[in-house]
Amino acid sequence: MAGLDVSRRSFLSASLLAGAVLGFQARLALAATPGTEGAPPPALNAFIRINPDNTVVIGAKNPEIGQGIKTMLPMLIAEELDVAWEQVKIEQTDFDDALYGPQGAGGSRATPVNWEPMRQAGAAARAMLVMAAAGQWKVAPETLTTAQGMVHHAASRRIASYASLAAAAAALTPPELAGVPLKDPAKYTIIGTPRKGVDTPAILAGKPLFGIDASPPGMVYAALEACPVFGGTLASLDDGAARAASGVIAVVPINTGLVAKGKHDAVAIVADSWWSAQQARALLAVEWDNGANAAFSTAGYAREAETALGGEAPSDILRKGDAKAALARAAKTVSARYSYPFLAHGTLEPQNCTALYEEGKLTFWAPSQSPGSGRRQVCEMLDLPPEALTIHMTRIGGGFGRRLMNDYMVQVAQIAKALPGRPVKLLYTREDDMRHDWYRPAGWHALSAGLDEEGRLVALQDHFVTFGAEGKPLRAAEMEETEFPAQLLDDVHFGASYLATNLPTGWLRAPTSNAMGFVFQSFLDEVAEAAGLDLPSLVLRTLGEDRMLEKVGRAPQFNTARARKVIEEAVRFAGWKGTRPKGQSDSGKGRGFGFYFSHAGYFAEVVDVTVSPEGTITVDKVWVTGDVGAHVINPLNAENQVQGSVIEGLGQAMIGQEIEQVEGRITQANFDSFPLMRIDGAPAQIAVNFVTSDYPPTGLGEPALPPVVPALANAVYAATGQRVRSLPMKLA
C-alpha cells in the first residue's frame, strides 16, 4: 500500500498480542505523520489514512486467496475507528512483518491472531481523533462521541469530520494500545454484518489483481523444464537449439529448492513472450540423473503399507492405558482398515511469480500465502540479507496450502539474478503445476475399537502408515495425539509406521484433518452401529460431562460443551430422526452425519445422497452447523467459506481425485485426470447456520471441510449398505 509508506523512523512500536497460535508476539507499528503541503494525507497509523473528502484508506495486511481476509481485517479496524463502511477504501499492503505484524494465509489463523490487534489499531486512531477535537474545542475527551467518521460534542452541538482533525491527530503521541477502550459488541455496526468482497467488482471487470497479471515495464517471460522425477539432478544439457529459437533471451539452469544447494534440477528458458519460451523449451536436450528416485511408485507404497499393517507399529503417537488389554476384555470389538491417496492442490491460477534483480536487491510481485517464509528461502538460496527483498503481495487465484511453499519465489529469484535489470515472470503450465506440486500425503489406517456391555466406547487403537524418515512424519503427514475421541478414553494407542518417498509433501486445506476426519468419523459410524446407536448419539455419549479438556502441545483446546451444542443443533437443523437405516435402502437414498473439531472450529454436518443402481452418487443436500466463537465477522463471506469447504471436501471424496506415481514421476497432467468439482456435481443446497459461544472468534477457511467427507461416506452406507473405507469413492 504505497500511500501508507511513511518513514519507518517515525513509527512507534507497541506490543499488542502474545500470539498463542505460533508462539510469536504480534506487533503493531503506530505512526504519527502530519500531512504537509503536497504530501499524501495524514496517516494515523500503519493501517489508516484519512483523505480530505473524509474517506478512509485502510490497509489490508494479509494475503488474499479468496478467503475474504482483504475485506474482513479492515472491517475490524473500521468498526473501532467508527466510520461508515461506505467511507472505507481498502488497499493491499506490501509485505513488511516488522511493520504490520504477521502476514500470512494458512491454518485459519488470521482471525484469532488479528481479532484484537486490528480492533486496537482502529480504536487507537479514533482516540487520537477525539483527543485532537478535545484540544481544539478545549473540552474533556470523555464528553465527545464519534459516529460515521465524525466527532460530536453534544453540549455545544459542535461536529468535526475526521478529515478536519486528521493532521492534528497525527501529531499526537499514540495512546497505549492495551488501555484503549474497545466497543461494546452490542454497538457494532460493521462486525456481524454481511459485506461483499472488496475485490469482486474488479474481478468481474477483469482488472489485473492476481500474480499472473503482474506486468512491470520491460518484463520478460520464463518457462521451466524441471526434472520429472523429484530429487533428480541435471546430468547434461544441450541448449543450443533453444538459444537459437526466436525470441529467446537466455537459458538458465536453476535449483527448484528440492535438491542440495549448488545443484541444478531445472532449466529456465527466458524469452520476449511466454509462448516463445514455452516453444523453445521443447528444443532442450536434457538428461537427468534420477538416482534411486525412479523406484518410487504409488503401487509400491500400497504394498509396503500392507506389509507394515500386518505387524506392530514401530513408533508411538499416543499410548495411554493399555488399549490392547482393554480390547481383549471388551464385550464387543470393531475393526476396519481405511486409506486415502496423495492429492494435488489444483489451484485455478497456476504457479507464477515475477521478480526484478537490481544492484543486489530483489523486488517481487508474489502470489504467496507465506511471504515471510518465501523471503527466508530466497535469502538462503542467494545469500542475500532480508532487507534486500521487497515483496509486493498480489491477489492469489487459489491457494489451499500450495502457495505456502514459495518454490516459485526461489526459482524466479535465480532467473532474475541471471538477467539483472529486467523483470522476469515465471509461469507454470497446468501440467507443470500438477506434476510439480507439494502433495497431500497418502495414508493407511488399521483401527480397532472396544465396547463394554452397555455399548460404551472404552478402547481405541490405530496403526497409521504414512510417510516419514527416522521415525518422524513428513510435512502434512502428522497425526495429532488429540485425535477425537482419544482424550475422552482411558485406553488408547496410536502407533505409526513411516515409508520413504521422493515426493515433496505439503499442507492441503484443513491439513491432516481433511484425511483424519474421514477415517475416524467413518469408523466411529461403524462403532455406533455395533453399539446399536446412530453416530450423533455415540459422539454425544462419548463426550460425557461439559468440560474443557486438557491442552496438549499446540493443538487447540477442546470444549465438550461447545461440541455438544453444535451436534445437537445440527441434528435439529437437519431434522435427523435419531434412527439409522439398516442395510440397503430400496430408494437408494441415505443420510449420513459427521462431526469434527479442527483449527479451533466445531462443525457437525449432515449429508443426504441418492445412489443410482449403477453406483452414481448424487448429493442432494448438506446441512452445516458450526461454532467459531462469539462473532461471525462477515456472515456473507462466512457462508461462502463454509459452502466452498463442503464442495471441496465432496470433490476430494467422490469425483476421482488422486495422484498416481509411476517410476518416480506423476502421471496426472491436467483436470481431465485430476478432476475438480463441477457445478452439476455440487449439492443443490448447502444450508449453513452458526451457534455462538462466549469465546473469541476463530477462523473459517478450513474447519468446515473435514466433517463433510465422513458424512458423505456414512450417507452412502445408509443408502447402499456398502462401507466406503478408501478414497476416492469407488462403489462396486
Please spell the DSSP secondary structure of 548-615, one letter per residue. Answer: BPPP-TTSPPPBHHHHHHHHHHHHHHHT--S----S--TTSEEEEEEEEEETTEEEEEEEEEEE-TT-
Which domains does the chain possess? 2-197 (3.30.365.10), 211-291+351-427 (3.30.365.10), 298-342+439-720 (3.30.365.10)
Whether residue 635 contacts residue 692, with contact meaning beta carbons closer than 8 Å, is answered with no
681-709: per-residue pLDDT in tens?
Answer: 999 999 999 999 999 999 999 999 999 99
- For the four alpha carbons of 147, 638, 439 and 286, in that order, the dihedral sign comes to negative
Give the pLDDT mean for 202-211. Answer: 96
Q: 25: pLDDT confidence band, cut at 50, 70 and 90?
A: very low
Model confidence at 36: pLDDT above 80: no
Supply the pTM of this predicted model: 0.94
Helix axes 708-720, 513-530, angle to 10 degrees: 40
pLDDT digits (tens, 9 = 90+) for 560-618: 999 999 999 999 999 999 755 555 566 899 999 999 999 999 999 999 999 999 999 99
Question: Does residue 24 register a pLDDT over 50?
Answer: no
The pLDDT, as a whole number, for residue 554 is 87
> What is the reported pLDDT for 584?
54
Q: Could you give the CA distance from residue 436 to residue 157 in angstroms, rounded to a whole number?
A: 66
User: How would you class 577 by CB atoms within 10 Å of its CB: exposed for 0-12, middle for 13-18, buried for 19 or more?
Assistant: exposed
Q: Is the pLDDT of residue 3 over 70?
A: no
Greatest Cα pair distance in the chain: 84
pLDDT confidence of residue 5 = 32
Residue 656's CB: how many other CB atoms inside 10 A? 14
Q: Average of pLDDT values for 531-548?
A: 98
Average pLDDT over residues 279-302: 98
Query: Which pLDDT does position 35 carry in this prediction?
Result: 54
**pLDDT over 70 (residue 4):** no
Tell whether the model's pLDDT for residue 152 goes beyond 70.
yes
Residues 105-119: what's their mean pLDDT? 96
Closest CA to 351 of 433, 437, 267: 433
Q: Rounded mean pLDDT of the chain?
A: 93
